[in-house]
């Protein structure tokens, strides 16, 4: 094997390994912060700060990885097409319709993920804590999930697969990471379908901006009352 071939193989191996490493390391970091808070509710003054810093670090690492290694200009709007906006809004409308009706269709009033977030929120106090919670769940959380679950995974594994395996992998990982309290078939489907829709937005437009936008809009809708409270 030539030196060039060895270098190419090594680079491909690193590229394939990176999404797994960044995902596992970030999940380990986040999952280790939560139990500390759970055992000491006084920790909530810094809990959201730490969580948000972890997510920001995720985003920065992914940004420079895509820029320097994959040569993906994340912030560039080059190639913007009006039909991409309409397509994103159309699929986004489907996301809203599904999410608003999923509890009825799957006979599951509330998922464990939502229950956990509500529990965290119920123990929180003060505007600073609410601000941190909203920044996490409405802004930084969706950005992180789209960068990892959509862009990193779909650009690395089965990119533009004729069988849409890139969409499948993205949606499955997205759904699994929301099952905080163990396996539930109904909860899996409730998160899988929006995961598919977000992935289709990225697949069809080639721009991560659109899936991030729709994801933020949905999460903002979920916490609309809290947003109004904080902004009032």
Q: Which helix (H) or strand (E) holds 132?
A: helix 127-134
pLDDT at 51: 76
**For the segment 26-57, what is each residue's pLDDT rounded down to a tens digit?**
777 766 666 665 555 555 556 677 777 888 88
Look at 18 and 181; give whichever has higher pLDDT: 18
Say how far apart CA 116 and CA 47 lie, in whole Å.
Answer: 15
Q: How many CA atoms lie within 13 A of 208 on its CB side?
A: 23
Q: Which of 18-22, 35-39, 122-126, 173-177 is predicted most confidently? A: 173-177
Contact 96, 221 (CB under 8 A): yes
pLDDT at 8: 54
pLDDT at 14: 80
What mean pLDDT value characterizes the chain?
A: 81
pLDDT band at 20; cut points 50, 70, 90: confident
Residue 97 pLDDT > 70? yes
* Structure-token match 């808070």, residue found: 37
Look at 136 and 127; give whichever has higher pLDDT: 136
Phi, psi of 159, deg, nearest 5:
-60, 130
Tell how far CA 142 is from the center of its chain: 4
The domain in which residue 27 lies consists of: 3-231
Number of domains in the chain: 1
Q: pTM score, two decimals?
A: 0.83
Mean pLDDT, residues 128-150:
86
């Amino acid at each position: 094997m030539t030196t060039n071939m060895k270098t190419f193989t090594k680079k491909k191996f690193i590229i394939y390994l990176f999404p797994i490493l960044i995902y596992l390391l970030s999940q380990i970091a986040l999952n280790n912060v939560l139990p500390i808070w759970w055992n000491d509710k006084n920790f909530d003054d810094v809990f959201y700060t730490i969580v948000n810093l972890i997510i920001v670090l995720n985003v920065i690492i992914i940004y420079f990885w895509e820029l320097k290694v994959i040569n993906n200009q994340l912030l560039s709007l080059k190639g913007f097409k009006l039909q991409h906006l309409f397509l994103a809004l159309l699929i986004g409308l489907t996301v809203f319709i599904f999410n608003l009706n999923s509890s009825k269709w799957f006979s599951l009033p509330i998922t464990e993920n939502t229950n956990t977030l509500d529990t965290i929120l119920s123990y929180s106090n003060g505007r600073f804590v609410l601000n941190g919670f909203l920044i996490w769940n409405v802004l930084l959380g969706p950005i992180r999930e789209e960068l990892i679950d959509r862009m990193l995974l779909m650009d690395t594994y089965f990119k533009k697969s004729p069988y849409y395996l890139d969409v499948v992998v993205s949606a499955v990982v997205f759904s699994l990471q929301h099952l905080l309290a163990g396996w539930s078939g109904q909860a899996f489907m409730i998160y899988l379908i929006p995961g598919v829709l977000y992935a289709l937005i990225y697949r069809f437009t080639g721009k991560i901006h659109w899936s991030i936008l729709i994801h933020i809009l949905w999460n903002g809708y979920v916490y609309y009352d809290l947003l109004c409270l904080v902004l009032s």
